[in-house]
Structure 1
Amino acid sequence: MKSFLLAIAAVQILHCSGVPSTKEALRASVVKLNEITEITNLCGITGRRGKNVYRTGKLSYNVDLIFSVKETVCSKNSGLEFDDRSCHFRSKKAAAKGFCKSHVEYFADKIVDIDVECRGLRTIDSKSYSFESSENSIELKAKRTPVREVYKRVKQVKRIVG
């Protein structure tokens, strides 16, 4: 019985300390991007050009992504997700497009911070473009997870471990 419980604890530890999914990081980045862009339709992913996953601590990882987005026919108010099959891209001439970089921070398998920067799109709270390398740019600093929640998660992991 004791070895069975140790095996379950080991599986839990391995599950909680795994390398984060770049697919999840990309999805979270686009969801956050769609929350702050001024356009009324959702943006979908048109391509992913690069990724970098690296460990920053015992339970923490960072994921850096480079990707491109294009406006879809789906309204932000439709209740659909950007990757829904019915959310086709708008025509080339009418669609807003962006070239994006994101930095996603994980701690104990939870996203705790997302930075997204896209050239070619405008934010809701900014009525003017900010210029960077002669192209439009937006930057987002996601809301950080409260420290209390992070410590609670660390305590849960420590209870499992020891």
Structure 2
Amino acid sequence: MKSFLLAIAAVQILHCSGVPSTKHALRASVIKLNEITEITNLCAITGRRVTNTYRTGKHSYNVDLTFSVKETICSKKSGMEFDTPSCRFRPKKIGEKGFCKSRVAYFANKVADVDVLCEGLKTIDSESDSLESSENSFEVKSKRTQSFSNENIVDSRWH
């Protein structure tokens, strides 16, 4: 009985500690990606990996992820979610694919900011509101940001 109560207490402490859900961070990243891609259909996840989760302040955390996506048959205008079962992937020769890195910043258990950089998908450059190939964008930004696992990030958007 004593060990059962200790287990319940541990679960409550971890639940209330503010450590973000990596599943939630991935979902926020793909939603952001679908907002910034030039293509008209939603992209969905084909692979994923959490690269780092760390505390940045008393009530704040960052979650770093890498994931791959592929274009689905569902239009962005359809109102559907990217993970709706009916949103199947487009055929191999037609569908766009990309490899992405993201950082999701949490404050007080809420998403405060999401940054996504992708290779292989055309995205809208949020800084200049112009369309730009994400392959070029990824190359330039990755030189400025170093690696995701390093906490000494140069690009101020990652803080």
Contact 2:22 2:50 in 1 (8 A): no
> Which structure has the bigger radius of gyration?
1
- Aligned positions of 1:1-162 closer than 5 A: 15=15, 17-124=17-124, 125-129=129-133, 131=136, 132-133=138-139
Q: Deviations over 1:101-152 (max 9, x none)?
A: 0001111001111110000111244334251559xxxxxx99xxxxxxxxxx
Q: Deviations over 1:34-84 (max 9, x none)?
A: 011110000000001333111111111000000000000000011100000
What TM-score do you get using the length of structure 2 for normalisation?
Answer: 0.71
Gaps of 5+ in 1: 1-11, 135-140, 143-162
Question: Please, which moves more after superposition, 45-54 or 22-31?
Answer: 45-54
Task: Please name the residue that 1:137 is paired with.
Answer: none
In the alignment of these two chains, the number of paired residues is 126
Distance in 1 between the 2:13 and 2:50 partners?
29
Structure 1 counterpart SS, 2:122: coil
Q: RMSD of the TM alignment (CA)?
A: 2.5
Gaps of 5+ in 2: 1-11, 141-155
Structure 1 counterpart SS, 2:20: coil
